[in-house]
């Protein structure tokens, strides 16, 4: 009998499959998982020796800002996705607050075209929800390459800002896919802006200006209206213990994201060390909130981890507070930070996999992604759980050139990134050329053919 042949075999690793962590060889054919088992005599065009490594489903980062079009001096789709694959990420969801904002079919088509031949990983783009396009959202949200609608209740400008309940109510009423929301109460934050504009104001005031109540009020408003319309929502980058306790009672309509930054940093230390470079929206808060987020990770309230990768240049971040912009790079450090937290006992490997791949696939309805199973896209992230590495700015691919975690030593490191059976990163080196394609969703398959 002739030996089985595959395009790729990943041999000798411990893989996280539907049976848990098991020693298994993985055969890939046509970009899909074709065999899981003992494949000692099988042949392949490419064989990856995974001895001593842990093989995870490809990591999915469901919140990144890659700044293209319009803000390419900070980041673009090539550099952002390059950082993603260097960090073990195989797919990303990109946000609509570019210039122009992503508000119609032409805007989405332009982004998909910009990504073609330049994106290192698979990708999808959010459609911004606003008063300007609300009537068209049921059609827009189902376009191929769209991961859903994103709404900014605070912390945005122009037509992307939806500060009032009347507009939010209309957006929730128009469409059916799960809607992602940035929850901060614009009215309350505006009333508190004077605190940041007082003489001598420092970034330590950022979580005071954008206080717990600003976040909780917006989240409560969102859930009330989501229930009114029976609309599924996804609450992004939750930062407060109070929100987590509230959302725990509303999991039928709401899924929840946390970020590695809010799980790792805490005030006031981060502002003491990093100043405006620790500034993001919603803010890094005190230790009690970080502990509340970790409890929500452990008890299942948190569904996914997204990086909220939102780079700005050093020059921009060095402006005095509050002129300094909010946001920091994160896509490349998402997995190293979580592996380090896992090694420190803060979460299990099973929980890490659920938060970085299975969770996003489940709640957003990714088609054939998010698990190591026959017939699924062969997306894999190979990690060395024992490797000790220092995060350095020289390792970062982002155009901004910095990370708040520079100098941090972590235990656990991504050593290979495989996308649809193609090895695109091995041992910190990029391989081949960008092969990223639009992610497919079960809600839009009829539009894709």
pLDDT at position 409: 98
Q: How does pLDDT run along the chain (449 residues), one tens digit per residue?
A: 457 999 999 999 999 999 999 999 999 999 999 999 999 999 999 999 999 999 999 999 999 999 999 999 999 999 999 999 999 999 999 999 999 999 999 999 999 999 999 999 999 999 999 999 999 999 999 999 999 999 999 987 778 999 999 999 999 999 999 999 999 999 999 999 999 998 999 999 999 999 999 999 999 999 999 999 999 999 999 999 999 999 999 999 999 999 999 999 999 999 999 999 999 999 999 999 999 999 999 999 999 999 999 999 999 999 999 999 999 999 999 999 999 999 999 999 999 999 999 999 999 999 999 999 999 999 999 999 999 999 999 999 999 999 999 999 999 999 999 999 999 999 999 999 999 999 999 998 865 54
Q: How far apart are CA 336 and CA 410, in angstroms?
A: 7
pLDDT at position 157: 74
Tell me how far apart the terminal alpha carbons of the chain are, to the nearest angstrom. 38
- Residue 368 DSSP symbol: S
The DSSP string of 308-362 is -B----HHHHTSPTTTSPP-B--TTTHHHHHHHHHHTTSS-HHHHHIIIIIHHHH
- Is there a contact between 423 and 416 (Cβ–Cβ < 8 Å)? yes
- Is there a contact between 157 and 130 (Cβ–Cβ < 8 Å)? no
pLDDT at position 118: 98
pTM: 0.97
pLDDT at position 296: 98
pLDDT at position 447: 53
Domain residue ranges in the chain: 58-364
Q: How far apart are CA 337 and CA 314, in angstroms?
A: 22
Q: How far apart are CA 395 and CA 403, in angstroms?
A: 10
pLDDT at position 156: 77
pLDDT at position 1: 46
Inter-axis angle of helices 165-173 and 212-229, nearest 10: 40
Pick the CATH number of 58-364 from 3.20.20.210, 3.20.20.140, 3.30.1360.170, 3.40.30.10: 3.20.20.140
Please return the burial class of 29, using the count of CB atoms within 10 Å of its CB with bins 0-12, 13-18 and 19+.
Answer: middle
Q: What amino acid positions are annotated as catalytic residues?
A: 308
pLDDT at position 3: 74
What does each C-alpha distance from 26 to 3, 39, 412, 426 come to in angstroms?
15, 8, 22, 17
Q: How far apart are CA 180 and CA 239, in angstroms?
A: 15
221 token code pair: 């408003």
Q: How far apart are CA 265 and CA 252, in angstroms?
A: 30
């Amino acid at each position: 009998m002739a030996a089985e042949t595959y395009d790729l075999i990943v041999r000798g690793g411990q893989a996280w499959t539907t049976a848990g962590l098991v020693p298994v060889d993985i055969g890939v054919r046509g970009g899909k998982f074709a065999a899981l088992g003992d494949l000692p005599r099988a042949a392949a065009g490419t064989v990856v020796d995974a001895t001593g490594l842990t093989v995870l489903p490809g990591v999915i980062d469901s919140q990144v800002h890659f700044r293209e079009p319009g803000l390419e001096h900070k980041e673009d789709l090539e550099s952002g996705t390059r950082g993603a694959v260097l960090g073990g990420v195989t797919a990303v969801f990109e946000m609509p607050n570019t210039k122009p904002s992503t508000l119609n079919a032409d805007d989405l088509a332009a982004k998909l075209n910009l990504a073609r031949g330049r994106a290192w990983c698979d990708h999808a783009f959010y459609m911004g929800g606003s008063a300007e396009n609300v009537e068209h959202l049921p059609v827009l949200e189902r376009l191929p390459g769209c991961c859903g609608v994103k709404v900014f209740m605070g912390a945005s400008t122009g037509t992307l800002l939806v500060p009032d309940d009347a507009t939010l109510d209309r957006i929730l009423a128009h469409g059916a896919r799960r809607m992602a929301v940035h929850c901060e109460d614009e009215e309350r934050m505006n009333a508190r802006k004077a605190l940041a504009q007082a003489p001598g104001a420092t970034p330590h005031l950022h979580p005071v200006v954008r206080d717990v109540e600003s976040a909780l009020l917006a989240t409560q408003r969102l859930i009330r209206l989501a229930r009114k319309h029976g609309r599924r929502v996804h609450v992004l980058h939750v930062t407060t213990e109070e929100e987590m306790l509230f959302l725990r009672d509303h999991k039928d309509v709401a899924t929840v994201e946390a970020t590695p930054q809010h799980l790792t940093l805490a005030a006031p230390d981060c502002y003491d060390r990093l100043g405006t470079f620790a500034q993001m929206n919603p803010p890094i808060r005190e230790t009690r909130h970080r502990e509340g987020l970790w409890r929500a990770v452990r008890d299942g309230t948190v569904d996914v981890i997204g990086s909220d990768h939102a780079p700005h240049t050093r020059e921009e971040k060095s402006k005095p507070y509050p002129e300094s912009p909010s946001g920091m790079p994160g896509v490349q450090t998402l997995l190293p930070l979580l592996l380090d937290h896992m090694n420190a006992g803060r979460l299990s490997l099973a929980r890490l996999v659920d938060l970085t791949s299975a969770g996003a696939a489940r709640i957003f309805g990714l088609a054939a992604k998010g698990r190591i199973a026959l017939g699924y896209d062969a997306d894999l992230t190979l990690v060395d759980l024992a490797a000790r590495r220092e995060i350095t700015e020289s390792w970062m691919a982002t155009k901004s050139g910095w990370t708040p975690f520079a100098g941090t030593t972590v235990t656990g490191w991504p050593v290979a990134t495989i996308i649809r059976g193609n090895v695109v990163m091995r041992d910190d080196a990029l391989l081949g050329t960008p092969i990223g394609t639009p992610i497919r969703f079960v809600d839009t398959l009829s539009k894709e053919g």
